[in-house]
A and B are shown apart, each in its own frame.
Chain A
Amino acid sequence: MASHGLTYEGCNFLRQRLVLSALSGKRVKIKNIRSKDDEPGLRGTVLVYQPGLLYGGTVEHDCNPQRSIGYYLEALLMLGPFMKSPLKATLRGVTNDLTDPTVDLLKSTALPVMKKFGIDGEGFDIKVVKRGMAPGGGGEVVFTCPVRKTVRPVQLTDPGKIKRIRGVAYSVRVSPQMGNRIVESARGILNQFLPDIYIYTDHMKGANSGKSPGFGLTLVAETLNGYFLSAEMLSTPQGQGDPILPEDLGRNCAKLLLEEIYRGGCVDSSNQSLALLLMTLGQQDVSKVLLGPLSPYTIEFLRHIRDFFQIMFKIEVQKPLEDERKGGDKVLMTCVGVGYSNISKTLK
């Protein structure tokens, strides 16, 4: 008598589907996974997932070095608050790579977003124990998350002005000077806007430095109302493509941050789907979030939300005024939550 499942095709958006399936309790069937490929990656090309309950507790996982820990962490962030017992996940693998949001970025942006939804507490943290750059990996991240029964509705409509910019310039298995060079160049660009800039340098050594050399920069802009926009840039992995100068990296990263600021909103582009999910899972009240332009991933996520929860968002485009100098169009997303409650949590 299980509820009717949903069927999809192709391997893309696998995480979204599995996460939403686990949260909504709907069965999901994914067909034709790389069906034309000689090596589909799985044993077959069909995946059927019947969700159960989320247990949580202490979990350890050695992530595949093809994707960074951020890939896994993005899904875990969505599931973490709805477990039976508080989650303590130790993930090992690549902490920073080019394809997925890095652990540093998630730590500095995703957690504040979730805090707005009432997911907060002592044990809510992402800790980078060891840093492991692509392709070798060898990093370790501990993600702890408390359990919530319900999620609060939010009204995040006024981003406010950016008051400070912080960042981390990290480097492993390269000269510690790299960090300083990155910081120098990044500041050069950002100082045109704001004096309050501080970029930490984080040089990890020895056992904590992973298996591959590399360096990178994560920049976070904090607004007056406590929202975070971020950008990041990494060195090209060892043995793949042309090496990049730390000065260029710093400059480019700063430009990426400007781009992110141009997009604007209360939630930065990599956490849009997380914010939208938490809005969906809120009480049966109106939630509002101002976003920058929707990323393709988010658009697909919205479609999936409609499939799994029958929730449609009201999407309003807010255009900048004639003489306003606040970046591009913003999108105001409004929805009524489904009134989700964590069914895994034990009542005592």
Chain B
Amino acid sequence: MPFKKQKQHQQKHSGPKAEKKKLKKQNGSTEEDERKRNPKAFAVQSAVRMAKTFHRAQDIKTKKHHVPVVDRTPLEPPPIVIVVVGPPKVGKSTLIRCLIKNFTRQKLTDICGPVTIVSGKKRRLTFMECNNDINSMIDLAKVADLVLMLIDASFGFEMETFEFLNICQVHGFPRIMGVLTHLDAFKNNKTLRKTKKNLKHRFWTEVYQGAKLFYLSGMVYGEYQNQEVKNLGRFISVMKFRPLVWQTSHPYILADRIEDLTDPERLRTDPKCDRTVSLYGYLRGTHLKNKGQVHIPGVGDFQMSDVNFLPDPCPLPGTQKKRALNEKERLLYAPMAGVGGVVYDKDAVYIDLPANHVKQLQEVRPTTELVQSLIETHVTLDAKMAASKVSLFSGSAGLDPTDIMQEGLREIHVWDAHTQTQRRKVVFTGLEEEEDDVSGSSSDEDDDGSDQENQEEEDDLSTFLKEVRDKSEKATKGSTPPVKKRKLEEMQGEEEVIAEAPAFADSEDELERGEADSEGEGEAERAGDSGHCSKESEEDSDDEEDGDEDDESMEEEIGADDSDEEEEQGKYHSGLFTFSLCSILWTFKWKEGLQQKASAAFLRHQEAAPNLRKLVYGSVVEAEDSEEEEEELGGLFRVNRPQKSKKVQADALDCSHFNPDISHNWELEEMLNSIRDCFVTGQWEEGQDAATLLKEDEELYGDFEDLETGKVHKGTTGEQDQAEVRDSEYSVKMDDEEVQKNKRLEKKRRLKERFDTEYDDGDATYFDDLKEEMQKQAELNRAEFEDMDDESRVQYEGFRPGMYVRLEISSLPCEFVTNFDPHYPVIIGGLGTSEGNVGYLQMRLKKHRWYERILKTRDPLILSLGWRRFQTIPLYHIEDHNGRHRLLKYTPQHMHCGASIWGPITPQGTGFLAVQSVSGVKANFRIAATGVVLDLDKSVTIVKKLKLIGYPYKIFQNTCFIKGMFNTVLEVAKFEGASIRTVSGVRGQIKKALSTPPGAFRATFEDRLLMSDIVFLRSWYPVSIPQLYNPVTSLLLPVGQKDSWSGMRTVGQLKHDLGVRNKPSIDSLYKPITRAPRHFNPLHIPKELQKALPFKSKPKLLQPKGKVPRDLKRASVIREPHERKVAELLRALSTVHHYKKKVAQRAHHAKHKEFLQQKEKDEEAKMKRMKDARKKLYRIMGQKDQKKQRSSLKGTPQDD
């Protein structure tokens, strides 16, 4: 058919229609107009529909609400983790390189590990490249804030992309931005457009409608186009993030630097020993507590031995008001890639010499010096140690380490009759620790000094130490004020942190002493920092000033678990903490010296207050090693303290009663007065006093008329003001103005508050209230510890997110260090309470619809749950209608099912995903299943069906004896009353066991059984969950083989690998069915029934007839001879006749046949003739017809 063109729409330019339209355009008829013109159309037609529409609108509105959460983001948030994902060769590294160049104007050739940059005034970014390994993909999906998903447009989506999206979905969905690359591969503009559209829509269905997809059109000199990268950078730097549940409830660190701290000597002797490793990174998520448990995905669970925070290596710029960052503020920090300027901390020194504009301030000089000195060292530490001499006092002879080796400090108890106390004499023995030698080696000391100290008293142990330290410190830090330092050092001595005081710091001091005297102050501070000298001690030093003796003893006691309070009570009292020990006060008489006592009590309070925290927690450093503290004080002395008093307290009555202060006598008026204001009858605060409030009310509402009495009350504001003015005149104070102003402000505030409560809360919904509450809490959280210094703040709330922290883990496997590959992310995930335990987990699981195979119960499966990746053996089950959890052999195809595993305790509601193997790259979709944790115990018992089979061996009417189902009488007894069934469906019940054969029983059925019947008992057998928990230790594998972790194999794999074929049970095989012919017994019809049957059907008639009786039989005929002859002749004649007749008939038949054949022939000929004739006729007719038609087509009617 030819294409027919549609007629185009012609707009009318004249005529009534055009006029109408023109009018409409001019007037701009609004909706209101129409409403007026046609009110009926806008009237309420149906209340129900209106309600429905309203309901729907509200539903849509409410759906947009999220459950409000407390905003716990810190003021200075950690850098945003941007994970760049994509299949290989898609341009990930290039993109990171371009972005870094865009933000920092620096070129980073090798992207190794996380790269942190400052991107703006308030934003830092950490880039991490995700390689094409499912382990990395899983780990990084858990820590990512933003995912840049690179897609090779010339190829289309690859499996990895979808796998990663699914991983993200399970572990909380981070922000995802697609980036299309290789767009220059398209030569045809149309295909390019089409591909873009297709990819975009597919991406949207996976992420969300309208998800951002970015196009990088092509490369210029091996880099993406500047403008496009810039745009991408802009998108990144304004992006907003919604907090993810798992991330906000767990602290985590993406390690960007790792140091091995293991003793080199130990490494030399045992290269495979467990390593002490420090890991560095920005803390994210939530607060991290020291000493907590962490999980490193790919390595395992570990206890942190120490955490501390470091100065930010990549800080945000200061708060100056300007739009852009200057060159110096565009920092880049990537230690694994070898960039990061100078880094200086406890473990190592990093110097990046190329002209980086990173801060190279004070650190440079000492560090280079240190490094130089280290380089110049030709002697080992041991040798140096042997050569060095320790002097405890300046100006005294050095103490040779060999001496110390022989005579380390030790104490013996000596009873001092003079002071009536037990003294602990210090004796030197050979028990020493190297560490302490090192720490001591910096100072100069002599034997005499220490000998003198031998005579010191128990309490002077610490004094001795502090003096030693004092001296040495004095030598090193000349410029600091001596008093303050003394205090500080004292505290150190008291708190016995010497074990911690590292050799490093001291030796450094010594190195610098030569020329760095001038900057002693700063140096001291830094040394203190790096040397772990607890800030606590510095802080508390002020408190110590008033009474050394008291505090010291107090310290000691607390250290010893508050045991000997009774002994020492004369020395201090805490009025606040009466340990029912006020025996002294007990003897006081109240009448005398009340004032004195009051002042004494006041003083007591003064003393007690600052010590309160110490009383509870001891000092903080002590707390850290409270366990060892009993054994080892300062690592130097061994204490054998008599622990009797402690025992007494430890075994005391466990009772929460708080005995009242006996010193309070509630008969006295003073005491009664002291609590007068606690009652509503007492005096109120200024602002809440009833009189003031009343007055305020008057001010607020002014005049009013009492309607009952008709009395008019005048507002007294003016008067009051006058009164106030008068007051101010009379008052002595000169800063009345201030007071007045404050009062006015206060009044204003109160009025505003009242106004707010009256007018704002009117239409506040529950949601608004909740949001406000959360807001308040967030403000409180921020404000509470704001003005504290970090050291003490860390103790209360833990390390807060955004801090750059250093974790020390003491027993990492050596493979972690030896096989370290910076391209794989090292994540340290903090574990919550009891998340370090392993137990049973109930989950809801669904096989992924893209995974090809169904999963088999008891086949090992690798799960990613919480921080962890581990292999476990799941049991699948489904809940029946009666609440029974039935074991499934395989997961259902398109349905959820339950799964029970043995694994790490993870809070309910946490999502997980399962893969069958993490090794290698497979063509198919690898994520086998996804699901969620429901419950953390064995409360659900999984059962599997068990059929017990037995055979009848004796059958009565409906009762039957059955054997073969059980083995003993006891077993039967357990199943008495259980229902059983035959294969044919006859139901019955177990009644009682029989004595012989053992295990046989009597059972009754609803019908008589046959001997050939099989009886079975359907029972449910609880299945136990296999306890396999095998963490995937992929990070420990050698470099290059990290994606080849394989754990336990499935039975199928094992059989395949070992070439084992299953030998099926003979019973399970199919056999040809042979059916024996069935013999039926005759039908028996009861007499009664027979009677009732119709005559025809009476069985009597159906029966075959018996013999005919003789009288009914006919007698035989015996012929005469003549007759016989006649009969024989007749028979012969008839035989001949018959024969003749037969022959004649045969002849006739043949003749007739011939005739018929002839006739047929003729007929055929005739038919042929007729057919020919007809053919001829039809041909002619056809020709005629054709002719006719042809002529009619021509249109010229030639013949009719």
Do residues A302 and B677 form an inter-chain contact, with CB atoms below 8 A?
no
Do residues B666 and A255 form an inter-chain contact, with CB atoms below 8 A?
yes
A interface, how many residues as a size bin? 35 or more
Query: Which candidate, B587-595, B652-660, B946-954, is the interface stretch facing chain A?
Result: B652-660
B-contact bits for A33-46, CB 8 A (1 contact / 0 none) = 11111000000000
Residue of A nearest to B70 (CB): A285
Chain A residues with Cβ below 8 Å from B1029 are 1
Residue of B nearest to A25 (CB): B834
Residue of B nearest to A41 (CB): B651
| B70, B654, B675: the one within 8 Å of A262 (CB) | B675
B-contact bits for A79-100, CB 8 A (1 contact / 0 none) = 0000010000000000000011
Q: Is A10 an interface residue (CB 8 A)?
A: yes
Q: Which of B669-688 contact A (CB under 8 A)?
A: 671-684
Bound form: Cα–Cα A313–B676 in Å: 30
Chain B residues with Cβ below 8 Å from A99 are 653, 655, 657
Q: Is A132 an interface residue (CB 8 A)?
A: no
Residue of A nearest to B684 (CB): A161
| B301, B651, B656: the one within 8 Å of A270 (CB) | B656
Do residues A296 and B679 form an inter-chain contact, with CB atoms below 8 A?
no
Bound form: Cα–Cα A144–B908 in Å: 24
Q: Is A48 an interface residue (CB 8 A)?
A: no
| B609, B679, B795, B905: the one within 8 Å of A194 (CB) | B679
| A37, A194, A273, A286: the one within 8 Å of B784 (CB) | A286
Query: Do A2 and B679 contact each other (CB < 8 Å), given the known contacts A285-B70, A317-B576, A347-B935?
Result: no
Query: Which candidate, A115-123, A135-143, A178-186, A337-345, is the interface stretch facing chain B?
Result: A337-345
Query: Which candidate, A12-20, A204-212, A242-250, is the interface stretch facing chain B?
Result: A12-20
Residue of A nearest to B933 (CB): A347
Do residues B673 and A312 form an inter-chain contact, with CB atoms below 8 A?
no
Do residues A343 and B908 form an inter-chain contact, with CB atoms below 8 A?
yes
Chain B residues with Cβ below 8 Å from A11 are 650-651, 654
Query: Do A1 and B838 contact each other (CB < 8 Å), given the known contacts A193-B681, A285-B780, A315-B613?
Result: yes
| B577, B683, B836: the one within 8 Å of A325 (CB) | B683
| B616, B652, B781, B785: the one within 8 Å of A12 (CB) | B652
B-contact bits for A315-348, CB 8 A (1 contact / 0 none) = 1010100001111110100111011110111111
Q: Is B292 an interface residue (CB 8 A)?
A: yes
Residue of A nearest to B792 (CB): A314
Chain B residues with Cβ below 8 Å from A314 are 785, 796
Chain B residues with Cβ below 8 Å from A74 are 656
Residue of A nearest to B834 (CB): A25
Chain A residues with Cβ below 8 Å from B605 are 319, 329
Chain B residues with Cβ below 8 Å from A297 are 655-658
Q: Is B1180 an interface residue (CB 8 A)?
A: no
Q: Is A174 an interface residue (CB 8 A)?
A: no
* A65 → B minimal CB distance (Å): 16
Q: Is B1194 an interface residue (CB 8 A)?
A: no
Do residues A334 and B678 form an inter-chain contact, with CB atoms below 8 A?
no
Bound form: Cα–Cα A1–B903 in Å: 11
Q: Is B225 an interface residue (CB 8 A)?
A: no
Do residues B680 and A194 form an inter-chain contact, with CB atoms below 8 A?
yes
Bound form: Cα–Cα A84–B281 in Å: 38
* A278 → B minimal CB distance (Å): 14
Bound form: Cα–Cα A344–B666 in Å: 48
Q: Is B664 an interface residue (CB 8 A)?
A: yes
* B298 → A minimal CB distance (Å): 16
Query: Do A262 and B674 contact each other (CB < 8 Å), given the known contacts A310-B289, A340-B833, A343-B834?
Result: yes
Query: Do A315 and B936 contact each other (CB < 8 Å), given the known contacts A259-B664, A294-B576, A340-B833?
Result: no
Do residues B658 and A295 form an inter-chain contact, with CB atoms below 8 A?
yes
Q: Is B572 an interface residue (CB 8 A)?
A: no
Chain B residues with Cβ below 8 Å from A313 are 616, 796
Q: Is A129 an interface residue (CB 8 A)?
A: no
Residue of A nearest to B910 (CB): A347
Query: Do A325 and B673 contact each other (CB < 8 Å), given the known contacts A99-B657, A346-B939?
Result: yes
Q: Is A101 an interface residue (CB 8 A)?
A: yes
* A271 → B minimal CB distance (Å): 9
Query: Do A194 and B303 contact each other (CB < 8 Å), given the known contacts A1-B838, A259-B664?
Result: no
Q: Is B1116 an interface residue (CB 8 A)?
A: no
* B1126 → A minimal CB distance (Å): 114
Query: Do A344 and B936 contact each other (CB < 8 Å), given the known contacts A12-B652, A155-B780, A193-B681?
Result: yes
Q: Is A293 an interface residue (CB 8 A)?
A: yes
Do residues A161 and B303 form an inter-chain contact, with CB atoms below 8 A?
no
Count of residues in B whose CB is under 8 Å from the partner chain: 85
Do residues A53 and B675 form an inter-chain contact, with CB atoms below 8 A?
no
Bound form: Cα–Cα A334–B623 in Å: 19
Bound form: Cα–Cα A308–B784 in Å: 24
Bound form: Cα–Cα A297–B785 in Å: 27
Chain B residues with Cβ below 8 Å from A213 are none
Bound form: Cα–Cα A19–B292 in Å: 19
Q: Which of B1011-1042 contact A (CB under 8 A)?
A: 1029
Chain A residues with Cβ below 8 Å from B612 are 294, 315, 317, 331
* A320 → B minimal CB distance (Å): 9
A-contact bits for B235-254, CB 8 A (1 contact / 0 none) = 00000000000000100000
A-contact bits for B581-624, CB 8 A (1 contact / 0 none) = 00000000000000000000000010011001101110000010
Query: Do A259 and B681 contact each other (CB < 8 Å), given the known contacts A37-B651, A302-B616, A338-B832?
Result: no
Chain A residues with Cβ below 8 Å from B905 are 25, 343
For B656, B664, B678, B682, the residue with the greatest tally of chain A CB atoms inside 10 Å of its CB is B656
Q: Is A103 an interface residue (CB 8 A)?
A: no
| A53, A312, A329: the one within 8 Å of B936 (CB) | A53
Do residues B658 and A270 form an inter-chain contact, with CB atoms below 8 A?
yes
| A101, A162, A335, A338: the one within 8 Å of B680 (CB) | A162
Chain B residues with Cβ below 8 Å from A101 are 656-657
Bound form: Cα–Cα A66–B1016 in Å: 56
Q: Is B72 an interface residue (CB 8 A)?
A: yes
Chain A residues with Cβ below 8 Å from B661 are 259
Bound form: Cα–Cα A258–B578 in Å: 17
Bound form: Cα–Cα A45–B249 in Å: 40
Bound form: Cα–Cα A24–B301 in Å: 17
Bound form: Cα–Cα A264–B654 in Å: 24
Bound form: Cα–Cα A14–B652 in Å: 10
Bound form: Cα–Cα A197–B953 in Å: 85
Q: Which of B782-820 contact A (CB under 8 A)?
A: 784-785, 795-798
Q: Is A306 an interface residue (CB 8 A)?
A: yes
Bound form: Cα–Cα A328–B681 in Å: 19
* B249 → A minimal CB distance (Å): 6
| A84, A224, A294, A326: the one within 8 Å of B939 (CB) | A84
Q: Is B937 an interface residue (CB 8 A)?
A: yes
Query: Do A1 and B934 contact each other (CB < 8 Å), given the known contacts A224-B680, A341-B907?
Result: no
Bound form: Cα–Cα A24–B836 in Å: 10
Q: Is A47 an interface residue (CB 8 A)?
A: no
* B1115 → A minimal CB distance (Å): 102
* B1153 → A minimal CB distance (Å): 95
Query: Do A306 and B623 contact each other (CB < 8 Å), given the known contacts A37-B651, A259-B660, A326-B675?
Result: yes
Residue of A nearest to B630 (CB): A9
Query: Do A329 and B576 contact each other (CB < 8 Å), given the known contacts A2-B837, A25-B836?
Result: yes
B residues lining the A interface (CB < 8 Å): 70, 72, 249, 286-287, 289-293, 301, 303, 575-579, 605, 608-609, 612-613, 615-617, 623, 627, 647, 649-658, 660-661, 664, 666, 671-684, 777, 780-781, 784-785, 795-798, 832-839, 905, 907-909, 932-937, 939, 1029
Question: Can you list 25 A-B pairs, Cβ within 8 angstroms, ordered by A?
Answer: A2-B837, A99-B655, A99-B657, A100-B657, A101-B656, A161-B680, A162-B678, A193-B682, A285-B781, A286-B780, A294-B612, A295-B657, A296-B658, A302-B617, A306-B623, A310-B292, A312-B795, A313-B616, A315-B616, A325-B678, A326-B678, A334-B784, A336-B287, A338-B289, A346-B935
Known: A32-B650, A295-B657. 14 other contacts (CB 8 A): A1-B301, A7-B627, A99-B657, A163-B680, A192-B672, A261-B678, A295-B656, A312-B796, A317-B608, A325-B677, A325-B683, A326-B678, A334-B796, A339-B832
